[in-house]
Amino acid sequence: MIPTKRIQLNSAAAEEEVASRLARGELVAVPTETVYGLAADAANGAAVARIFEAKGRPRFNPLILHVVGCAMAERYARIDDVAARLMERFWPGPLTLVLPVVEGSNIHPLALAGLDTVALRAPRGALQHILALLDRPVAAPSANASGRVSPTTADHVLRTLNGRIDAVADGGPAVFGLESTIVRPLADRIVLLRPGSVTPAELEEAADLPVVRNTDAAITAPGQLASHYAPHGRVRLNAEEPKDGEHFIAFGPLAQPASSRAAAIFQLSETGDLREAAARLFTALSSFDAPEIERIAVAPIPSEGLGEAINDRLARAAAER
Ligand code: TXA
Ligand code: MG
């Protein structure tokens, strides 16, 4: 095991080191005012896949993208009046907004879990400077192994992730110790997806709109919906080989006769690399998602490591609907 490097975040040089590690695709735990986040370049699919791998997350939930502020957010999301008012009042700070993602954004589909909305927040403190240096967003869930409590110090991060991530930037204890409030602003109301330290009363006052608790399971926990992100066609799993006319999602080398039977082949990873396959999964599903594609087959994926999350998502894509 290579122990995780600890970086004392007490100088401009330290912030530059963190920014350049993130730019190189490294996984770095960073302090925010809420909890420590496990950050990776949101446009880099392999780096985002490593977030899920390091956390041992059994499924791909969409991640929060961290931006410097409204100007950077505008490059990735459609911001209406309500969203703009909330950003002005609460950013930088512990409020996350779920907004429609702009067409052609370079955010990796794995960070969005294939959704057409994006969760954005502008953190306070050193991470804000790091994001300005990087000039693009980082995806960051809380920096703890899956199922463990969210970390509020660098030591706490290392307790579950030492050796699994490249570095931890130590910025002292987190101020709030509680994850951000998550909302979906709509034209006539604000939907509260996760309560946090920005309260419904503060939101109502800032936006002059009612705050409603979420009743739509599809928005609360998109990763957990049984048939989320199912393509139009039927999906056959654990297919050793494609049948005639099937669209085939391959994993590892494919024999010549098998490949000539398939209508088309999307290779997740020629070498059977789970990190590469995770990074390509949503692109594979969406490229075969068309009304005229009726039958999709997917090669077996081993269930170890990231394979568990890949298989979870494939099972949802194949579920009865
Ligand atoms: O304070 C925080 O928000 C911390 C720090 C590190 O910034 N981050 C955090 O991330 O709590 P995470 O990954 O543990 O929680 C992200 C939540 C998940 O519940 C996910 O379902 C939701 O955000 N989420 C992300 N994108 C979404 C979307 N497009 N629609 C609805 N919910 C979304
Ligand atoms: Mg968490």
Radius of gyration of the chain (CA): 20
Q: Assess if CATH 3.90.870.10 describes domain 5-213.
A: yes
Number of H-type helices and E-type strands within the chain: 12, 15
Which of 27, 48, 57, 96 most suits a substitution to test ligand 1, by most atoms within 8 Å of the C-beta?
96
Which of 55, 57, 61, 64 most suits a substitution to test ligand 1, by most atoms within 8 Å of the C-beta?
64
Helix axes 274-287, 45-55, angle to 10 degrees: 120
Dump the DSSP string for 26-86: --EEE--SSS-EEEEETT-HHHHHHHHHHHT-SS----EEE-SSHHHHTTTB---HHHHHH
**296 Cα to the center of ligand 2, angstroms:** 33
Which residues are CB-contacts of 277 (< 8 A; sequence separation ≥ 6)? 251, 268, 269, 301, 306, 310
The structural domains of the chain, with segments of one domain joined by +, span 5-213, 234-318
Q: What is the pLDDT along the chain (321 residues), one digit of tens a residue?
A: 889 999 999 999 999 999 999 999 999 999 999 999 999 999 999 999 999 999 998 888 899 999 999 999 999 999 999 999 999 999 999 999 999 999 889 999 999 988 889 999 999 999 999 999 999 999 999 999 988 888 999 999 999 999 999 999 999 999 888 889 999 999 999 999 988 889 899 999 999 999 998 776 555 555 444 445 678 899 999 999 999 999 999 999 988 777 789 999 999 999 999 999 988 888 898 889 899 999 999 999 999 888 988 898 898 889 876
How does strand 28-30 pair with strand 247-250?
A: unpaired
- The confidence score (pLDDT) of residue 215 equals 72
Query: Which residue is listed with tokens 């919906």?
Result: 225
In DSSP terms, 181 is beta-bridged to: 95
**Nearest to 122, CA basis, from 157, 166, 155, 89:** 89
Structure token pair of residue 145 = 């192994």
Pocket of ligand 1 (CB under 6 A): 32, 34-35, 37, 61-64, 96, 98, 115, 117-119, 140-142, 179-180, 182, 193, 219, 221-222
Alpha helix locations (H) across 124-221?
126-134, 154-161, 200-207, 217-220
Mapping DSSP to helix (H, G, I), strand (E, B) and coil, where does residue 194 land?
A: strand
- The confidence score (pLDDT) of residue 223 equals 47
Minimum-distance ligand 1 atom for the alpha carbon of 143 = 6
- The confidence score (pLDDT) of residue 226 equals 44
In DSSP terms, 139 is beta-bridged to: 40, 65
Q: 99-104, long-range: CB within 8 Å, 24+ apart, which pairs?
A: 99/73, 99/184, 99/185, 101/76, 101/77, 102/75, 102/76, 102/77, 102/78
Which residues are CB-contacts of 91 (< 8 A; sequence separation ≥ 6)? 69, 70, 121, 122
**62 Cα to the center of ligand 1, angstroms:** 7
Mapping DSSP to helix (H, G, I), strand (E, B) and coil, where does residue 208 land?
A: coil
How does strand 64-66 pair with strand 117-121?
A: parallel
**150 Cα to the center of ligand 2, angstroms:** 6
Look at ligand 1, atom 20, and give the residue with the nearest C-alpha: 62
Helix axes 81-90, 200-207, angle to 10 degrees: 120
How does strand 264-267 pair with strand 247-250?
A: parallel
- The confidence score (pLDDT) of residue 229 equals 61
Query: Which residue is listed with tokens 């957010």?
Result: 73
- By residue count, the chain amounts to 321
Which of 55, 182, 224, 282 most suits a substitution to test ligand 1, by most atoms within 8 Å of the C-beta?
182
- The confidence score (pLDDT) of residue 227 equals 46
- The confidence score (pLDDT) of residue 50 equals 97
Cα–Cα distance for residue pair 50/55, rounded to 1 Å? 8
- The confidence score (pLDDT) of residue 224 equals 47
Ligand nearest to the CA of 34: 1
